[in-house]
Amino acid sequence: MKDRAVQFVCTECGRIETKWLGRCPDCGSWNSFEEEIAAPPLPKAGKSVVINTNESPVFLKDIAIDPGFRFETGISELDRVLGGGVMRGSSILLGGEPGIGKSTLMLQMIEKCSFGRTVLYVSGEESPSQVKLRAERLGLSLSNIAIFCDTRIEILATILEKTKPDVVVVDSLQTLSSNEVSSPAGSVNQIRCCSTELVGLSKRLGISLFLIGHVTKEGLLAGPKVIEHLVDTVLYFDQAGSGVRLIRAAKNRFGSIDEIGIFHMSEKGLLAVTNPTSFFITDREGQSTPPGIVYTAVIEGTRTFLVEIQALTVPAKSGFSRVYSDRIDNARVTRIAAVLERHAGIRLNDQDIYVNVAGGMKLNEVSIELPLALALWSALMGVSLPSKLISFGELSLSGEVRNVGFSEKREKAAAELGFSKVLVPKTTKLNGTLAICRCESVKEALFVCGKMV
């Protein structure tokens, strides 16, 4: 039958083909096409069709903005990542691995938002009694939280039109379904149809919408990419070490994507870590720093973190060296090792290199390149760097050490935590709070460190 035609949809990007393909031409993913029943084509509108509307274009200067257009969720770390709070009528997509705490965070958030606002928790994966038990375990107030467990989009839209809540959490997007789409819940067509309906409805009614999404084995949000284009904000919830959760924005129309939120998982749910400057470094209580350990300061949004970079080198047993690093990009580690070998005479091509960041934080800043080089040198030579030394700087392929931004801010954070020395590029401007050691090249940096040990 023509209205029951079969089509194949890529689960990664949403591309539609009339036949199955092994590899998607758009996103390049393999074995991602799934068979679905194509929706019947809509009848074409004739020339005589007249659309009546009372809408007309307006000038931006004539649009009035309500002072309460943005409100805080009551969770400081979540507000920081969102850009200061939640915008009315905005849609936020939250993704993360199973069991990481997405539902717990949303339940805590919706409980804090329930004071003075109407909230609705739409659960498609848990029954009302299960949600209640979770809320009681977290010690949340249950009096103002409304729950709805029907995931049919037509019924949900009717409820939203009737009650007009201020905040809605949908847990999860993959459980929604529409009668207009013959595919099962969680399919590409269902996700696209339901999310489009909910996002449009939230903007029209001024509802702040939170959608919880599943992730693939690669850590990306499941479903077509069009979902990420529809929503205003895309958040990723990651695990960094035991009990530590990081939330960061991959897209934010109302704020920066450079901020990260840090939470600690406890028996009472997720607790915000409001002062994480020293959260990722180890307190060794006066003991000497082991070889391969270097401290540096990184900037994430408006905050400064002190982190501990760890390196280990062992003779390669397989005839060629390998790099093992999941917290710092492998390509960066390989490049720094090549710069050390070419410009400092440090031979690493016969060594297996292991690199880690204490606390599980992923580092992408160029400022970590100088401390990474020091950590590799320290691990290879078996010497310990001073425990009160901090360093930051970018390395060029010619072996030069280059300036990085926010140097004074990094120095101040290090001084507050008891560091006494800082190794920086030659032209870096600092406040002089710490004893300053300068270097122009990576070879000079290793010479300066060699005099300290």
d(CA 191, CA 177): 8
Question: Residue 8: helix, strand or coil by DSSP?
Answer: strand
Name every residue whose Cβ is closer than 8 Å to that of residue 413 and which is 6 or more positions away in sequence. Answer: 277, 297, 304, 305, 306
Residue 161 structure tokens? 């039109």
Are the C-beta atoms of 55 and 73 separated by less than 8 Å?
no
Which secondary structure element, helix H or strand E, spans residue 368, and what is its range?
A: none
Ligand-binding annotation for 416, yes or no, is: no
Ligand-binding annotation for 186, yes or no, is: no
Hunting for tokens 């929706």 — which residue is that? 39
d(CA 299, CA 216): 29
Residue 118 structure tokens? 């109407």
Which secondary structure element, helix H or strand E, spans residue 169, and what is its range?
A: strand 167-171
d(CA 84, CA 343): 46
Ligand-binding annotation for 102, yes or no, is: yes
Ligand-binding annotation for 72, yes or no, is: no
Name every residue whose Cβ is closer than 8 Å to that of residue 445 and which is 6 or more positions away in sequence. Answer: 370, 373, 374, 391, 393, 401, 423, 439
Ligand-binding annotation for 98, yes or no, is: yes
Q: Is-cis flag, bond preceding 172, omega within 30?
A: yes
How distant, in Å, are the alpha carbons of 100, 221, 334 from that of 81?
A: 18, 18, 32
Name every residue whose Cβ is closer than 8 Å to that of residue 100 and which is 6 or more positions away in sequence. Answer: 237, 238, 239, 245
Ligand-binding annotation for 261, yes or no, is: no
Quickly count helices (H) and strands (E) in the chain. Answer: 10, 23
d(CA 330, CA 336): 10
Ligand-binding annotation for 451, yes or no, is: no
Ligand-binding annotation for 56, yes or no, is: no
Task: Specify binding-site residues for ATP.
Answer: 96-103
Task: Specify binding-site residues.
Answer: 96-103
